Amino acid sequence: MLGNEKSPGIMPRAVKELYDIIAEKSNKDIEYKFVFGYYEIYNENIRDLLKEDNQFEKLEIQEDPILGNVINGLTILSLPNSTEVFKILV
């Protein structure tokens, strides 16, 4: 999934492609914002993998009428490029 710097896996390659598409399509009329969350679901428990102290905190999925399904309390980052995303994933 992650791979390494010399041979990136599917996650870094997909993120890089998204950033490339955003850069290609950017213009003055449309603003793109790419946000990043990273979590695992194991035994019906959701764990925030971006939380600094990495303590287990029970997170729940809830339905938002505008956003759809959201995980309350999940750390969400807005990162400037795919390199920063790869650093976080590692």
State the pLDDT at residue 56: 67
Neighbours of 59 (CB within 10 A): 17
**63 pLDDT higher than 90:** yes
The pLDDT tens digits for 15-50 are 889 888 888 877 767 777 888 888 888 888 888 888
pLDDT mean across residues, the chain? 84
Helix-, strand-, coil-residue percentages of the chain, each rounded to 5: 25, 25, 45
**5 pLDDT higher than 90:** no
Please answer whether residues 49 and 59 qualify as being in contact, where contact means their C-beta atoms are separated by less than 8 angstroms: no
H-helix or E-strand containing 88?
A: helix 82-89
CA atoms within 13 A on the CB side of 33: 4
